[in-house]
Amino acid sequence: MTTDAKGFHLPPDDLARTLALAQPNKPGSAIHLGVAGGTYTILVSSDDTAGRFCLIDMFVPPGGGPPPHRHDFEETFVLLEGELAFTFRGQTQTIQASETVNIPSNAPHRFQNSSSQPARMLCICAPGGQDKFFMEVGVRVDGPRTPAPPPDPATRAQTLGKIKELSAKYRTEILGSV
C-alpha cells in the first residue's frame, strides 16, 4: 500500500482483475441483445469492473426505447448518432448527437427514437448490474445492428412477465404499463 504525507492510501494493484477489451464487430467477442425495440451490445460488463459500472452500446431504431421507468443507480447516455426524445420527470426534450445526458438515481425517465433515422448511444450504469438485467430479458442477436425478431403475442407476453418479475431484483421500477 502506498501512503503519502497527507495519509492518502492507495491499495496495491488487484492482479485478479484483467484488461477488458471491447470488440463489438468481431464475431463472437461481444454479447448483442434485442431489448426495448433496439439492439444493445455489452461493451464492458459489470463483471469486468467488479460491479463498479457497465458500458452498453445502444442502437435504437425509429420507434425504439423503453417504457417509463426508474432505478436506484446513475445512468449516463452519450448520444453518438441521431436524435432521441428524453423524458425526465415528465418533461421531454430532444437530444442531438454529441450531447450527453445524466439521469440521477431514482428519477423517472425514458427515451424514445421518434425520428425516422436510427440513433446510437453509449450508456454507462453505475454501479453495474443493468447489463445482467438486459441479458436476462433480451434476445440474443448476431451483431450490433441486427434487429431482434419481432415477437409473436405469446413471446411478447412471456417477455413482459419476465421484465416485471426481474425488475425488483435489478433495482428497477417500470412505471405504467409496458
pLDDT of residue 2: 64
pLDDT of residue 71: 96
pLDDT of residue 148: 83
As a whole-number percent, the residues of the chain with pLDDT over 90 amount to: 78
Q: How far is Cα 158 from Cα 81, in angstroms, rounded to an integer? A: 32
- Give tens-digit pLDDT for 92-133: 999 999 999 999 999 999 999 999 999 999 999 999 999 999
pLDDT of residue 136: 95
pLDDT at 49 over 70: yes
pLDDT at 16 over 60: yes
Looking at every residue in the chain, the average pLDDT score rounds to: 92
Place of cell 431489448: 35
Q: How confident is the model at residue 1 (pLDDT cuts 50, 70, 90)?
A: low
- Give tens-digit pLDDT for 57-86: 999 999 999 999 999 999 999 999 999 999
